[in-house]
Amino acid sequence: MLDTDNPKSSVLACKTKNAFFQEGGPGTGKSTGFLYFLLQSIKINHPEVFAKRKTITIVHVTKESAENLAIKLGLTPGVDVLCYGKEEFFSNICPKYTAIHAAEKSDDGIYITPEDSVVEDLNTGIVTYPDWEVRDDLEEDALSNITIFDECTRMTAMESALFDKYLERYNSIGLKTGDFH
């Protein structure tokens, strides 16, 4: 349930016992419908969220798919919304992302960067990232109050951790949507 006194309540509800699940086949509009409802609820109950910065950033597998989602939500890419493909977004917010992305899987199921630091151990689920931080010098026009990551099940654990750090550092409301199997 939305707490109209707190613009982040819907996001917090999804992190706790009040999760929202919707069933349907691929391409049936589950994420689009949910995001549209949520954005309209925030706009009605908290217009201040839309008063500064570019309001929304959408991250998707490709920039084109992010732009398509923006259009389906009634937004204009480049005007009300910043659109990024996953690799572009993470490369912009984390200088070490190319090392994460270039990690190679070893024979024992461990992803290792060129610097030989463990990225993700597929056997234990343990992820380490000693010096991979979100940049603290992003320009104001590259920030938004709401950041959406659609198809979040295509995020690695490392990318999910970076996304969460970005939300915290830049005080952005985060929405992760995607199909869970």
Q: What are phi and psi of 176, to 5 degrees?
A: -110, 125
Residues in the chain where the model's pLDDT stays below 70 = 1-21, 52-54, 98-132, 180-181
Distances in Å between the Cα of 127 and the Cα atoms of 97, 101, 116, 140 are 14, 14, 14, 30
Residue 53: the pLDDT is 59
Residue 12: the pLDDT is 44
Residue 10: the pLDDT is 45
CB burial readout 117-138, b (16+ within 10 A) else e = bbbbbeeeeeeebeebebeeee
Residue 14: the pLDDT is 47
Q: In what order do the strands lie in the sheet with 118-121?
A: 104-105, 110-112, 118-121
Residue 3: the pLDDT is 47
**pTM for this structure?**
0.73
Q: What is the pLDDT of residues 160-180, one digit of tens each?
A: 888 888 888 888 888 888 776
Provide the residue type at 98 as one letter.
T
Residue 5: the pLDDT is 53
Q: How far apart (Å, rounded) are the C-alpha atoms in residues 132 and 160?
A: 13
Residue 68: the pLDDT is 93
Residue 13: the pLDDT is 46
Q: What is the pLDDT of residues 50-77, one digit of tens each?
A: 776 567 899 999 999 999 999 998 888 8
Region of 104 on the Ramachandran plot (φ > 0 left; ψ -120 to 50 alpha; else beta):
beta
